[in-house]
Structure formats: C-alpha cells, structure tokens
Chain A
Amino acid sequence: MSRIGVFVCHCGENIGRTVDCAAVAEALKDHPGVAVAEDYKYMCSDPGQALVKKAIEENNLTGVVIAACSPHMHEKTFRRAVDQAGLNKFMCEMANIREHCSWIHEDKDEATAKAIDIARTIVEKVKHNRPLEVIKIPVTKRALVIGGGIAGIQAALDIADGGHEVVLIEKSASIGGHMSQLSETFPTLDCSQCILTPRMVEAYQHPNIKLHTWSEVEKVDGYIGNFEVTIRKKARSVDEDLCNGCGDCQGVCPSKKIPSEFDAGLSNRTAIYVPFPQAVPNIPVLDRPNCSLFKGRAKGLKKDACGKCKEACLKGAIDYDTEDTFVTEEVGAIVVATGFKLYDIGRDQPEGLTGYGEYGYGEVPDVIDGLQFERLASASGPTAGAILRPSDGTEPKTVVFVHCVGSRDPEKGMSYCSKICCMYNAKHAMLYKHKVHDGRAVAFYMDIRAAGKGYDEFSRRAIEEDHAEYIRGRVSRIFRDGDKVKVWGFDTLSGEQVVIDADMVVLATAVRPQDGVKELGQKLSVSVDADGFINEAHPKLRPVETNTAGVFVAGACQSPRDIPDAVAMASATGAKVLGLFSSDELEREPAVAIVNEQTCIGCMRCELVCPYGAIEQREVCTVDGHVCGHTAYVNPGVCQGCGTCQAVCLSKSVELQTFTDEQIFSEINALCAWE
C-alpha cells in the first residue's frame, strides 16, 4: 500500500507566480496513494528539507515526490534528505513544475492544472519505484597515460605524485613530443628543452612511473576501475637494460640518408638512432624498414647485408632477432594525450581535406612550416640556430610568414582556428629579427588571436620592438621565381595588392590530430569529432572527461592548444584520476539496465545499439558445463542508463532501473486518464 508524500515548492516567485502551489498540494491530497501533501516557499532550504524529513517519520511514507525544479538541479539534494530520514533515496522523485511548467507558461489557471497533472504523473511512477542500492565496483588504483608529450608527462607526474602508479606509453622512441622540437616558447621566450627536459627526466626516474617508449596500445578490455590494456612494445632491436647510451652504433651505421622526423625533414639520421641528444630514454631504436640488414632479409638474402652496429656495441645490447612483445597492464583509469601534428599542404590528402595547390603543394623549395622554422631557429637544430634557406644554405633577407594555412578554411576542410599560430608567428618573426638584424619580416594575417596572459603584449612586441610588418590580408599564390619565392598577397586595410620577392616563406599550417587517433579511439570506445579531435564529455563543464567512464583526455588531442593550456588540462585530468582513485570502491547510480536472463533470447540487439559498449554476451551452461546458449549481460560499471537497449529488446527482457516499462506506462496512463 503506497503512502506517498507530495511536497510542492513555490521556489520563491519562480513557480509561485505562475502556479498556485497551495492548490496543487490541495488537489494531490485526494489522489489515491498520497498520504500527505504540503507546499512551502523554498523546499530545497534547510527548513524545507526538515519538513520533508519530518513528514517521512510522522507518516511512515513509502515514497516522496517533490514538485519543484528540474532533477538536474536538486534531485541529489532531496535524495540526501530522504536518505537521512531513513527512507531509500531512490523512492524519491522530482516532478518538474518549473522548467517544464511555470517558466514556460503565462496563464495561471492552465499552468496550475498542468502542474497538478505533472505531480500526479510522478506519483503514479513512484508507486512502481524500487528501493535500489548504489552499485559499488572495485578500483584498480593505477593509471595508463597514452602519449608522452608535455600533456602526458604532466598528467603522469601529477598522478604519480599523488601516490599512484602510472604506466606511460609513447609510440616514438623518446618522450617529449613537439615541445622538444621547439626552439623557444611564447610569451617568455624560454628555451623549450630547458624547461621540458627536467620534467622528462623526472618522469623517467619517478618510482611510480613505468615508461614504455616505442610502444602502442594494442587492445583495451574492461571498464572504469578495471581496465585490462595490452601494450605492443615494438621491437627496438636494442636491449634497454644493457644499452648505456654511448652512441657508438649511430656512429658506424652506413644508412645516413633517412630524413629525420625530429628535424621535420631538414636533416638526415641513421637507421639506428636516438631522435635527439636529450632523448629520454637515451636508448636508440633500429628503424627496420630503412635498415640495410633488414631490407636484405626481406629480399631473402641468406647472409646479412650489414651488422656494423652490433659489432660496434661493446655492451652486446643489439639483437636483430627480437620481435614485438606484448605487455598486459591492469589499470583503473586511462588518459589520452596523443597530441597533434601539422597539416601538410601536399597533393596526397586524407578524405575531406584539400591540399594547397596555390602555394605549390609543398614542392616549392624554401617554403617551410612552423615546426621546420623551429628546427632552424633551435641551437641544437640542423643549422645550429642560424636561419638559413634549405635550398642553398644562404641567409634569407626577406621572410614572409603566412597565417591561417588550412585553418578557418571550409574549402580546405578545416573550419576551426588552430589557436597557437598567431602567437608562434609573432615569436618566429621576433626570433628571425633577433638573428638577422637587417632582415625583413612580413606577416600576412586575418585576425590576431592573442588571448592568454602576456600574449597580446608579446604580439605587439614583434611589431613595435622588432619591426615585423603585419599586413592584414590573404596570400593568393606562392611560387618559385628564379632564386626567389614570389608571394602575391593583398592588404585589405589599404586596398592594395602586395607582391613580395621573398627568400623564404613560413606557412602557419593547421593543427591536426595525430595519425591513428581514430583507431585508438575505437579501441577505447571514445569518439572523435568531424575534424578528428577526441570528443570531450561536455564542452563547457566536463572538458577532460570523455563519454566513456574512466577514459580521460588531456592536451591538443582534444583541440588545438598551447603549452600552458595543455599543462593545465593535464593537471585537471590528473585531479580527476586522483579523485577516481580516492576510494577503494566506486559508487555509481543504480540507473543502469539489468537483463532478465530467464526471458532473454540472446538476439544481442541491445549489444548492437549500446553506445557505450556496456553489453556483452554471456554463455548459459547446463549443469555439467555444456554451453547451451547465451544471454545478454549489462556491465553495471559501464552502463550510462540511456535506455536504448530497453527500447529495442524484442523479448522485453532488459529493464532500465528508474525507468522501467512499468514506470513509464504508469506515467502515460496517469496523463491520459486525468484531464
């Protein structure tokens, strides 16, 4: 027998002005199953809550309906109060007579009638509520961080400093990411590696951080608090324990003409290599596809074509016969921090993007991108920090910087702003002028986006102190003209065409997500947006979580950002992970789907439609262990309570607790039966 308490809130004037709350309470008093009905000015306040608790105790209530604001607002508040009064908190529901009634209507009579309908409907629902318990799942207090750039390193350090073990994996040979390629960082012009390498070493030496470089995620199983991740440690050909980082192997390698990824193609490296001198770990990898020995083996040669590095290694650390190995790590949280890469203006483009034929498709010498300029400017770069033309090694006297190459351009397939380019272009113009005093730096821009702390001042410095010429307008063509690079642009502020015979052009190409992110996302059940960036759970209020519980995101892989924002985001992610690890068990709302295995026919339609990968097939066995069929099983740790499975279930075997068919139909019946 139901004994339900109905409490109607005036919410000050919010509800009270449009709905006659006393009348609603009065009408509900007579509704079958309602033991008590009251109204009050502010239900969510202390006295309001005390009212509810008192009513529960005095009337032995079996259910509570608060006719007030949206459950998004105060469901938690009232359920806590109900719980304190000794009634199961899931027997408390909110009837929204504010967002769904008083805030959207004007006629008091009609609004009051509607409020009464809404309250009655929820009373009928509550009659079918069950006293559910929160779901508790265990938590493995270890984290996996995918990506060893500044965001990944920061997240790993924060979690490790918080007392928990972190597995940090990086697909290239060293951690550091793009920040290690930069010369100086804005707005302070700090030497990038000087501020980064201490962090890299800290991550390497931290007792709580386990580092796997030259490794990738192979498979991910499990759910929040209980992930099982298989990591592929690619064959390095160098034993990480034996190698002492002496570098003799690199010295003898005969394959010296491989374009260096670290130098963005401006210099060459050997087949066995450490990407840069400050690499962490300082252990080389052997690039097998470019190694003569392995190329020979692929052709079927019986005798190895080379072996110089192995001969030269005094530690015997080189082994050509290693294979990729697999390591399984159990973790409770995963952080995606895969960073970014730059848009390439060439002819070969992935689906949806177009190259820049008007700028020469990347085939014009001395037209470079931002990362290549960083390598030129870098003291440890291919030109020891001198700004020189890649074509002939001479010093350029006129350098043109082009903003927005690909970014903000729907025709090229990238409508978004890449955020960092206005700042690094100003930096580049300044670095160039600092090194070539009589040089001319010209920047073609659309808008200047310099929103951070000290950013606009930095940007103005380039113009006022270093005399960079900023022209507002686009560049229509870039092509080779003899020894020079012809730039055809436009100055919208003066309305004149501008033609510049440049010695070098630096293109601020768009920031894109790294390769392989979509596939990695699929392994994690995390989606990417139309531009390929990882989707956050909510753009405003949940920027470091994804829609998959337990998988977090940090850095430029979610959207273009600079170093301070990447670090801040990584620390936020770290805090979320530490929060997750702060208890031994995770509490989850019991608003999850449950399958009735007796009636389930195992058609698995639910598994097909579940957006969160929360449903799996479970075998049904006879007494003697014989598999005789299967049913669906919903993992209560992953289910987000969307109810899609319930909608498609052919045998009506899956029920979303708190929104069962019974509850929903009772609401519908209530609405239809009463006028």
Chain B
Amino acid sequence: MSTVVDATATAEAGAQPAPGVLAYYPGCSLHGTEPEYDESLRAVVEALGIAIAEIPDWNCCGASSAHTTDHLLGVALPARNLALAEAAGFDRVLAPCAACYNRLAAAQLAVAEDAGLAEQMPDILGRPFANSVEVLSILSLLRDVKTTIAERASATRAAPNPLVGVKLAAYYGCLLVRPPELSGGDDPEQPMFMDEVIEACGAEAVDWNMKVECCGGAFSVSRTSSVLRMGRAIIEDARSNGAEAIVVACPLCHTNLDLRQKAMESRGEPRIPVLFITEVVGLALGLPAGALGLKRHFIATAPLLADLNIRAAQRVADEKKAADEKATKAAAREAKAAEAKAAAAADPATPDAGGDA
C-alpha cells in the first residue's frame, strides 16, 4: 500500500489527515530539474512507513527572488503554503529542497516573532493563518529515524548493504545551516546531521573542509564560471579527503556539482558521483537503484554502484569465510578437549584421580 496519500482526495473528502502524516512541499526543483530527489524520497518514506501528502495547490516558495525584492512578499509567498497545509489539517510540512526549507522556516519564524506581521497575514493570504505548522528539513526527518535506518541497513538480507565501508562526503551547502536560527539545531560551522544519517546507513562520513562552503547557487545560470571554480574546490577537497562520492540535500547544490562537473577544469582525475541523501538511504534500505532515480544523474552512478555491489559481495564472502574458519577452529578445540577428558577418565594413574597427598 502506498504511503503517499493523495491530499486532494483528503481535502475533498473534508476529512483530517491521519495523525503522523506529513504535509509534503516538493517545490519546483523536485518536480522539474531534480525529479530523482522526489523519486528517491517517495521510495524511502514508503519503505520507512512515513506517510506524506503533497499540499494541494502549493505555490512557489519565492526562493531568492521574493525576499530580495520585498520583505513582505518574501514572507507571504511561503506563508501561503503553510496556511494551505494548516487548512488541510497538517501540523508538520516536509520541504526537501534546501531553499524551500529555508524560506518556509524563515517565514514561520518571522511571523512567530513579529505580531504585526502575524496580524497582516490572513488579509494578504485571503485565508486564516495561525502559523501552527512546523517546517522540517529532510535532514531533521531522516535523523529522527536514524535508528530505524541503522537497524534495517545492518540487517542480514539477500542483497547485502552496498554502502558498508564506502567513504562519503556530506555536503551541506548554505541554506541548510544558515542563518543559525534555521539550522534545525545543527552546528552552522561544523554540522553533523547528514553525517549521522550517512553513518546510520553503514557508510563512513569523511572528515573534510568544505561542508558549508558555497557552491555558487543561482550563479549557475548567470555566472557559471564562478560555479565551476567554487564547485571544483569543493570536489577537490572531498576527493583529497578520501571521499568516493559527495552527498547533498539540495537540488541546486546537486546541479552545480553534478551537471556542471564535466565543465569544471580537469587534470584527468575521474569524476566523482553526487548522490542525494535520499538515494543513499534508499540503497542502505535495500531498495533497487532503478527505484531511486540514480540513472538520471549527469555524472554516471552506475560504475560506483557496480563497484559497491562487488565489494559488498566480497565482504559477505570474506565474512562467511572468517565465520567458517572460526567455527572449524572451535570444533577442533572442543574435539581436542573431549579427547583429553576421555583419556584422563580411562587412565587411573593420573594425579587428580582423587588420592590423598
């Protein structure tokens, strides 16, 4: 049964969503340029038993354009989405795109802190608005269930977890950790939430230097050369710290590091794949690569995945071999001990036959 609820149906039926269902705000990128993020996210929440329902009639969050044009517009656009979620009976909204998350959370905070703004909102939005919806980033959501992820990732199954032992660099970019009030509790200089999820998946989150350095953001379109330069520094640092892939939680970071990677200056080193955190979690949970949108990337993921599968198989084989050897050795020890015991019982001249000394 799909856990992705059709919210329009719910709204029409006039019923409240079942408790625990998250409102889902995909934003333009998850429907447009990064559909693999949406695909992998839906697959992962279903596998984890988390129900999500897309907010009906959602509008653009405003991204950078709205808040750099007018402060009120920058608050009202995302607030409308919060009001819609509220009206549909949700208490939490998941915004996987980092910019959408940042704008929705910033609007929520602005209205909560400014009574004047709170008063204006219902008029501007043309609907009631109590600012009661909590905004969740994908990192907060996954981190909350990291124990479940870890259990499922380490459980024995037919196809072993391909992520065990792989080194991944968690790249946060800017909007997930700045401003500090909107970082969801993570350290804005040395954040660890994504690292924790990566570790829960059985992989190794490498310690590297460019976790929160800008990828160039929207300059991807207007000043691509800057994005190439900054992106290259990020990728170089990840690579020199041993990463085999970079993990992101933002569609624009993904574009800048994946789509633009080929145009970056190369000295012949191999390209490094860029994965969404939801794709990583999906792999750890045993979902097939096909269900996670992994073939949509510009830097091919197939070679890495193939390599990881081989390594996983090798690892399983090695473990089995080690276990067999251990069992054999243990059996041999037991047999030897049993022999010695039998021999001692048969021979009356042994010292511990209980005589007086």
Residues of A within 8 A of B (CB): 356-358, 361, 479-482, 486
Contact = CB atoms under 8 A, between A and B. Distances in A.
B209 A357 contact: no
A361 B190 contact: yes
Interface of B: 187-190, 209, 237, 240
Contacts of B188: 357
A480 B189 contact: no
Given A358-B189, A481-B237, 6 more contacts: A356-B189, A357-B190, A361-B190, A479-B209, A480-B209, A486-B209
Nearest to A364: B209
Contacts of A358: 189
Contacts of A479: 209
Contacts, number: 13
A471 to B, nearest CB: 21
B189 A482 contact: no
13 contacts: A356-B189, A357-B187, A357-B188, A357-B189, A357-B190, A358-B189, A361-B190, A479-B209, A480-B209, A481-B209, A481-B237, A482-B240, A486-B209
A222 B334 CA distance: 77
A3 B188 CA distance: 76
Nearest to A357: B189
Contacts of B187: 357
A482 B189 CA distance: 20
A356 B187 CA distance: 11
Contacts of A361: 190
Select the residue from B187, B189, B237 with max chain A CB neighbours within 10 A: B189
Nearest to B188: A357
Interface of A: prevailing SS: mixed
Contacts of A356: 189
A354 to B, nearest CB: 9
A479 B237 CA distance: 11
A434 to B, nearest CB: 33
B217 to A, nearest CB: 18
Contacts of A357: 187-190
A482 B237 CA distance: 10
Nearest to B236: A481
B171 to A, nearest CB: 15
A487 to B, nearest CB: 12
Contacts of B237: 481
B191 to A, nearest CB: 9
B318 to A, nearest CB: 33
A479 B240 CA distance: 14
B189 to A, nearest CB: 3
A486 B237 CA distance: 12
Nearest to B213: A477
A361 B191 CA distance: 12
Nearest to B189: A357
A480 B210 CA distance: 11
Contacts of A482: 240
A356 B190 CA distance: 10
Nearest to A359: B189
5 closest Cβ pairs, A-B complex? A357-B189, A479-B209, A357-B190, A358-B189, A357-B187
Nearest to A356: B189
Select the residue from A356, A481, A486 with max chain B CB neighbours within 10 A: A481
Nearest to B209: A479
B309 to A, nearest CB: 32
Nearest to A486: B209
B188 to A, nearest CB: 7
A305 to B, nearest CB: 35
A124 to B, nearest CB: 51
A208 to B, nearest CB: 53
B206 to A, nearest CB: 13
A343 B338 CA distance: 66
B185 to A, nearest CB: 14
A486 B236 CA distance: 14
A479 B190 CA distance: 12
Nearest to A481: B209
A496 to B, nearest CB: 16
Nearest to B208: A479
Nearest to B191: A357
A120 to B, nearest CB: 51
Contacts of B240: 482
Nearest to A360: B190
B174 to A, nearest CB: 14
A152 B187 CA distance: 41
Contacts of B189: 356-358
Contacts of A481: 209, 237
Contacts of B209: 479-481, 486
A361 B207 CA distance: 13
A361 B188 CA distance: 13
A217 B209 CA distance: 46
A140 to B, nearest CB: 54
A135 to B, nearest CB: 55
Contacts of A486: 209
A481 B208 CA distance: 9
Contacts of A480: 209
B193 to A, nearest CB: 14
A480 B187 CA distance: 19
A563 to B, nearest CB: 35
Nearest to A488: B213
A180 to B, nearest CB: 35
A482 B188 CA distance: 24
B225 to A, nearest CB: 16
A252 to B, nearest CB: 41
A482 B240 CA distance: 8
Nearest to B237: A481
B61 to A, nearest CB: 28
A503 to B, nearest CB: 17
B164 to A, nearest CB: 27
